[in-house]
Amino acid sequence: MSRIKDFYSKYLSKINKYWLVTILFLALTFTAGDSNLYQRYLYDEKIRSLEKEIKEYQEEIRINSEKLKNLRTDKDGLERFGREEYFMKKENEDVFVIKKKN
């Protein structure tokens, strides 16, 4: 017990008790437990990145829905899509596929 009193009188007596409690509280909130401030920051960053990913996928869904709607309504668009994506052709046509060299 005398060691604690010596340590207190030598180092901590000059510090205000309220400041000491405040510093200890902040240190515990930053480091202790599963819901400390650092973990919360990491969780918030992950949430932000997932929300950004959700927006990107929603935009992709919107674009693909427009393409699908165009394919269902426009016969020329459907024919163009079949020719471009699946290299389809009419009976009397020749199709040349040009590949790019890497």
The reported pTM is: 0.53
Whole domain around residue 93: which residue ranges?
47-102
For 68-91, how does the pLDDT look when each residue is reduced to its tens digit (9 = 90+)?
888 888 888 788 887 777 777 777
The tally of domains found in the chain comes to 1
21 found inside a domain: no
Give CA torsion, residues 88, 91, 93, 95, to 10 deg. Answer: 30
In a domain, 2, yes or no: no
87 inside domain? yes
Return the higher-pLDDT residue of 63 and 37: 63
Phi-psi region of 12 (alpha: psi -120 to 50; beta: other; left: phi over 0): alpha
Q: Could you report the per-residue pLDDT of 2-60, keeping only the tens digit for each?
A: 887 887 777 777 777 788 888 888 888 878 877 788 888 999 999 999 999 999 999 99
Whether 63 maps to a domain, the answer reads yes
| Reduced 3-state DSSP string for 4-47 | HHHHHHHHHCCCCHHHHHHHHHHHHHHHCCCCCHHHHHHHHHHH
Q: Which of 6, 23, 27 is nearest to 15 (CA)?
A: 23
Q: Is residue 39 in a domain?
A: no
Residue 5 placed within a domain: no
- Is 23 among the domain residues? no
